Amino acid sequence: MNEPKATSEKPATPWKDLFSQANITTGLAVFAVVLAGAPYVVPQVQGFMVRKGLMSHPAMLYEASAELNAQNEADKAKTMAEAIKAKHDSLFNDKADPILGNPNAKIRIVEFLDYNCGYCRAATPVLKDFLAKNPDVAIVVKEYPVINQNSRPLAAFALGAAQAGKYEAVHYALMTEQVGSEAEMTALLGRLGLDPAAVRANAASPGVKAHIDKVMQLGADLGITGTPTFIIGDKAIDGAKLDDLQKAVSAARSGK
């Protein structure tokens, strides 16, 4: 019987197989593929994890949305403040603009308005009462006819009345009455004691046309898309937020 021959070879082990040249080469290849795909795979995995987290905690969505809105509003306010500063004289010191209230008032509010604007009409009695109770405040009116085709003639007649020294009376009448024709305008001016022909001539003058064009361009430069829009200091205030306007006046008084 033949005896089994002695051998010096050691039995194979799993570790030896794992670190064989072939496996190392294969592993490196797989690792390279993973690295190559990382820019595409990792973000998707992260996105999945984020979506899963948000779905599990929906309050995070509201918080993120609120923070984003707040940042957007802050950015808009900063941009507007810079634009107001650049256009300060055109906004507050244009002598062609009519003034409501005390013309020598220390605090000035600029109002972009349109006589066909429902919000402007609704705000008018509140503003009139506010000016009566606050003689240190005046409103610089920017005739900004953007609502419809009838808006520009109304703005022109209001400015024509301003040249005749009767702006305030015509302004408040146009904010309460519906004037849609020249005959109705003639009747309104007559009731207020003005010469309709003289006001009509003023309204049709090149100076009035040029001023309205100037205000329209100013509003476009500032990005004003709605009426009424108020400007006080370096802030623009939506016409629906009259409480914010009164707060801004209080802040102006205290120098804040």
The Cα–Cα gap between 153 and 58 comes to 52
Side-chain-side CA neighbours of 219 within 13 Å: the count stands at: 24
Are residues 192 and 170 in contact, defined by beta-carbon separation less than 8 angstroms? yes
Residue-wise pLDDT tens digits, 211-228:
999 999 999 999 999 999
The Cα–Cα gap between 61 and 59 comes to 5
What pLDDT, on the 0 to 100 scale, is given for residue 241? Answer: 86
What pLDDT, on the 0 to 100 scale, is given for residue 26? Answer: 56
Overall average pLDDT of the 177-200 stretch = 96
* pLDDT-based confidence at residue 65 (cuts at 50, 70, 90): confident
What pLDDT, on the 0 to 100 scale, is given for residue 4? Answer: 45
Q: Phi/psi of residue 179, each to 5°? A: -120, 110
The Cα–Cα gap between 186 and 93 comes to 31
Overall average pLDDT of the 195-199 stretch = 97
The secondary element (H helix, E strand) that includes residue 101 is strand 99-101
Q: Phi/psi of residue 87, each to 5°? A: -110, 20
In the beta sheet, which residues pair with residue 232?
235
